[in-house]
Structure 1
């Protein structure tokens, strides 16, 4: 049995009760045991800990690409090697973050639609919507939501129900946790931009969605355009779900960092068809909303972010797989 002693120092602020050395059996001990021992001494959850090698600064991994545990010997650590330990602060599970993010708009859209009489007043119509404005009509009842507004609420709610289902039952995460404080930043995009921003303006009595095509009081959306937009939305959502299933099947389990080149429906066309289909689903919402400014803002921000994510993922694939990676676009065929 070959025993080794590892020298341990904190990275950043000192850690209470952090041992100066720890001994392990080189041939059998896994890096999981290393994390567990340091967590036991410092009384910190091991998800808060980042352990790096003093020789090259690389993180000490817990699992191999195939999901199996990494032994201390496989990391290159030897007797007398230096490691650094950093406290990452309070953590929260990625799955929990996603659930909280999508819960906001999932609740906000139906609430805004069905609480319209409490949120809007008859005299508060948007003057840019071509609806008549009469200050003396403040006590009048607001008109019932149009078919287009009902459709918009249904599609937005179904979208985020799908997201919640995928978070719980489909997605596999390579990292277990993220800093807990990031949940506020991550949730702001969904709760504010796709929740409050979309719901307030889409379901208002003076919304373009209530009077567009033709632009007359309470006129509804042209049925042909409405059905075409709904068909686009449905196809894009189903296609997006199919790509998520493909990505799930590339990883044997949560925590696996195994990477493969995804192939099949959508992936033979671009690197990130999931982002392409997602953007097309929101484009359908833009059309149904009559080009409402709130939908345009959300579409521009979300699509722009997905374009950047797609390019970043494509660069990582090209670096990792080299000439074996032959796709010509990251998200939009022939353009991006």
Structure 2
């Protein structure tokens, strides 16, 4: 048995012991977390324990999923460890489910039950401030949604329904939890940008979503090739995106944090084909929406953020795998 000195990192922790004892020959770092959690009555996921010697975090598992032993960490009799409370945590899976739930509910509600209230003549209705020539609500009669609006709503609904399915049945998360407060920041992108903002302007009851600058010849309501071509592109992109997620899932066995170089469909072309196909799907929706400014805004923000993530992942692959990782574009073939 060895005794480890324990100190808080940052603010004091109620119930934190001055020392704990573990069996050096058999104990794992998970036992250290369990002992600290029992004393402080905090969930293990909100604890970060670091070594006093070099400040490195005590990992509980190797990349292959095997438990890390105390002996492997280099801790010995009298070694110092620091404990930090990371605050309330929430499961990553829960975060994803909540994020995607916003637009999944908002779009059908805006197109259907809430339509009379959102677009009626009111001081709280942004449409009320538009000229009568382009404001259909001035007559007091709200026309039903156009077929194109119904189609776009259905495709967006299917997109986020697919994401919910993947969150539950496909994705594996390298970290169990994240700070609970971050759920509000993470959800803002989906609930506000792809939810309220996108839905409100897509379903304006004029029945025409196309922007004034959009070429009439490319309007899906009048051009069958644009209509069916965009629908085909959407489903191709969504299915391809799903296949890349399955590939990423199969790279990591359950319970493991091991990382490998993804190969196969899409991955031989770019580092992050999942982001490429995601962008293509939203590009198809933007075309169906006739260049609607809210669709363009969401497409630009989403593609820009994914491009940044893709570049970071490419750099990480190069650093981690060295020459084994062959040079390629991170997201857009031959461009980025």
Offset, 1:101: 0.3
Deviates more, 1:38-47 or 1:198-207: 198-207
Does the alignment pair 1:249 with 2:258? no
* 1:148-198 superposed Cα distances (whole Å, 9 cap, x missing partner): 101100000000000000001110011111000000000000000000111
Matches of 1:108 and 1:54 in 2, distance apart?
49
Please name the residue that 1:121 is paired with: 120
In the other structure, the counterpart of 1:164 is 164
How far did residue 127 of structure 1 move?
A: 5.1
* 1:292 paired residue number: 292
Instruction: Give me the TM-score of the superposition, normalised by structure 2.
Output: 0.92
The alpha-carbon distance between structure 1 residues 70 and 279, as it changes in their structure 2 partners (threshold 3 A), is: same
Instruction: Tell me which residue corresponds to 2:237.
Output: 236
CA contact (8 A) 1:30 1:72 kept: yes
Please, which moves more after superposition, 77-86 or 291-300?
Answer: 77-86
Tell me how large the CA RMSD over aligned residues is: 2.3
**Any idea what SS the aligned residue of 1:83 has?**
strand
Q: How far is the alpha carbon of 1:138 from its aligned partner?
A: 3.3
TM-score, normalized by length of structure 1?
Answer: 0.92
Give the Cα–Cα distance (whole angstroms) in 2 for the partners of residues 334 and 215 of structure 1: 31
Counterparts of residues 83-232 of structure 1 (less than 5 Å): 83-115=81-113, 116-121=115-120, 124=127, 132-133=134-135, 137-139=138-140, 141-206=141-206, 208-209=208-209, 220-232=221-233
With 22-31 and 184-193 compared, the bigger mean Cα shift is at 22-31
Match of 1:61 in 2: 59
Distance 2:19 2:134 in 1: 77
Point out 4+ residue stretches in structure 1 off by more than 6 angstroms: 210-214
Structure 1 residues 117-169: Cα deviation after superposition (integer angstroms, max 9, x where no partner): 222137947858x955588x432x22221111011000000000000000011
Gaps in structure 2 of 5+ consecutive residues: none
Partner of 2:10: 12
Shift of residue 221, structure 1, vs aligned partner? 4.4
1:75 shift after superposition:
1.6
Cα distance in 1, alignment partners of residues 136 and 14 from structure 2: 68
Q: Which residue of 1 aligns with 2:272?
A: 272
